[in-house]
């Protein structure tokens, strides 16, 4: 297990902000996971678990504890029969590599989530999703290290409490309790079926596409995302910065009355694209305190020259305020904040007898 001291969080996260973390530990095996949490407990330090840093925002004061990076690698086909594939990947695998593996074998279920940045272990934590798919639709189980008991456990989908960007892993009393070792999904042979998400349907219409195989959906989604979203390896950004806004039927009716486009669910409720709201407020391309709203996708904030978390916070509040004033809707930030809490994971963990 690799141990580093006083590592800048700005170098671990794609938004490239944040002071130093006291320790950074890289976990490459299940034994490393046990040792990493024991390391934190013995020193009485809080823990922050992280994959690729695409959904984490660092603060200027840094993190006074142990950042545990998931570097577990490997992908295996558990079973392949009757048009289905059970696929298992380790938590440190790059998410998009996992998607590519499935698509190249003709299996559908995660292809619309191509080139989402981050690791496989982070996918169920946030219940990532794009273009009408989310990981909750495909996931079967996760293997995780339970920091409360010091044991490895397997959790089924029905134990994860998954909804839009919320799960047992990031919400409530179990937030931060589980270090995800591996993820297992069930995929099916065949093509993605309509109705397609608006931007994907637009691409299909413009290019006359009729091939909806996993491999071709992946190609289309990758082209759409590459055009709109900056590569976090090259441009400092946390990807989609605001969650889409979900409204009940009354809220959806009110939104349509205001001329706000939305995706309707069967029960009449709806989902509003937050990027549309930001753009409608005239903020697309605007720079604020070194943070710029992308001129390609208003849902994305780019760190051009900001040096502090305060700069990002000021830009965020200006955007949230503008949307609230114009539409009466409240935007919710998607990336999580790296802060230390009392009674955090390392202090919960019991010594194994």
- List pLDDT tens digits, range 307-337: 999 999 999 999 999 999 999 999 999 999 9
| Preceding amide of 195 cis, omega within 30 | yes
Question: In the prediction, which pLDDT does 347 show?
Answer: 37
The mean predicted confidence, pLDDT, of the chain is 93
pLDDT band for 186, please (50, 70, 90 cuts): very high
* Beta bridge mates, 242: 333
Question: In the prediction, which pLDDT does 349 show?
Answer: 38
Question: How large is the average pLDDT for residues 106-121?
Answer: 96
Is residue 351 over pLDDT 60?
no
> What span, in angstroms and rounded, lies between the C-alpha atoms of 73 and 339?
27
Annotated catalytic residue, options 16, 88, 165, 289: 165
Q: Which residue has the higher pLDDT, 340 or 44?
A: 44
User: Could you give the percent of the chain with pLDDT greater than 90?
Assistant: 89
Classify 6 in phi/psi space as left (phi over 0), alpha (psi -120 to 50) or beta: left
> What span, in angstroms and rounded, lies between the C-alpha atoms of 190 and 149?
41
Tell me whether strands 263-264 and 237-240 are parallel, antiparallel or unpaired.
Answer: unpaired
Question: How large is the average pLDDT for residues 115-129?
Answer: 95
Q: What is the DSSP letter of 265?
A: P
14 vs 18, 57, 193, 334, 335, CA distance in Å?
11, 8, 33, 14, 11
DSSP result, 98-121: HHHHHHHTTEESSGGGTT--SBTT
Is residue 342 over pLDDT 50?
no
Count how many Cα atoms sit within 13 Å of the Cα of residue 239 in the half-sphere of its side chain.
21
334 as an active site residue: the answer is yes
pLDDT band for 165, please (50, 70, 90 cuts): confident
Is residue 352 over pLDDT 50?
no
165 as an active site residue: the answer is yes
Query: Cβ contacts of residue 33 below 8 Å, gap of 6+?
Result: 27, 68, 72, 145, 179, 181
Question: How large is the average pLDDT for residues 95-103?
Answer: 98
> What span, in angstroms and rounded, lies between the C-alpha atoms of 238 and 58?
11
**Residue position matching structure tokens 């930001």:** 278
The answer, as to whether pTM is greater than 0.85, is: yes
Tell me whether strands 20-27 and 63-70 are parallel, antiparallel or unpaired.
Answer: parallel
Annotated catalytic residue, options 240, 274, 294, 346: 240
Annotated catalytic residue, options 140, 191, 318, 334: 334
Question: In the prediction, which pLDDT does 341 show?
Answer: 62
> What span, in angstroms and rounded, lies between the C-alpha atoms of 142 and 95?
15
Question: How large is the average pLDDT for residues 156-182?
Answer: 95
311 vs 17, 179, 289, CA distance in Å?
10, 31, 5
């Amino acid at each position: 297990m690799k141990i580093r001291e006083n590592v800048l969080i700005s170098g671990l996260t794609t938004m490239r902000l944040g002071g130093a973390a006291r320790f950074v530990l890289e976990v490459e095996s299940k034994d490393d996971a046990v040792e990493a949490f024991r390391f934190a407990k013995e020193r009485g330090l809080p823990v922050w678990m992280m994959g690729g840093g695409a959904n984490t925002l660092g603060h200027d004061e840094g993190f006074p504890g142990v950042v545990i990076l998931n570097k577990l690698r490997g992908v295996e086909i558990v079973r392949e029969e009757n048009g289905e594939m059970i696929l298992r990947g380790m938590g440190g695998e790059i998410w998009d590599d996992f998607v590519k593996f499935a698509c190249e074998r003709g299996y559908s279920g995660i292809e619309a989530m191509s080139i989402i940045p981050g690791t496989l272990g982070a996918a169920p934590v946030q219940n990532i999703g794009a273009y009408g798919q989310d990981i909750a639709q495909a996931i079967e189980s996760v293997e995780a290290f339970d920091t409360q008991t010091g044991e490895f456990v397997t959790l089924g989908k029905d134990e994860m409490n998954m909804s839009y960007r919320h799960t047992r892993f990031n919400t409530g009393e179990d937030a931060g309790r589980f270090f995800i070792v591996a993820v297992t999904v069930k995929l099916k042979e065949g093509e993605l079926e309509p109705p397609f998400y608006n931007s994907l349907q637009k691409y299909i219409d413009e290019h006359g596409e009729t091939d909806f195989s996993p491999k071709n959906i992946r190609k289309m989604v990758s082209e759409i995302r590459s055009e709109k979203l900056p590569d976090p390896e090259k441009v400092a950004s946390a990807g989609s910065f605001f969650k889409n806004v979900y409204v009940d039927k009354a809220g959806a009716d009110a939104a349509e009355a205001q001329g706000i486009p939305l995706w309707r669910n069967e029960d009449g409720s709806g989902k509003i694209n937050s990027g549309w709201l930001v753009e409608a407020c005239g903020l697309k391309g605007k720079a604020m305190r070194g943070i710029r709203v992308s001129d390609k996708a208003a849902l994305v904030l780019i760190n051009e020259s900001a040096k502090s978390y305060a700069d990002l916070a000021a830009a965020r509040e200006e955007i949230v305020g503008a949307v609230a004033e114009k539409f009466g809707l409240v935007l919710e930030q998607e990336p999580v904040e790296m802060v230390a809490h009392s009674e955090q994971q390392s202090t919960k963990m019991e010594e194994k007898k």
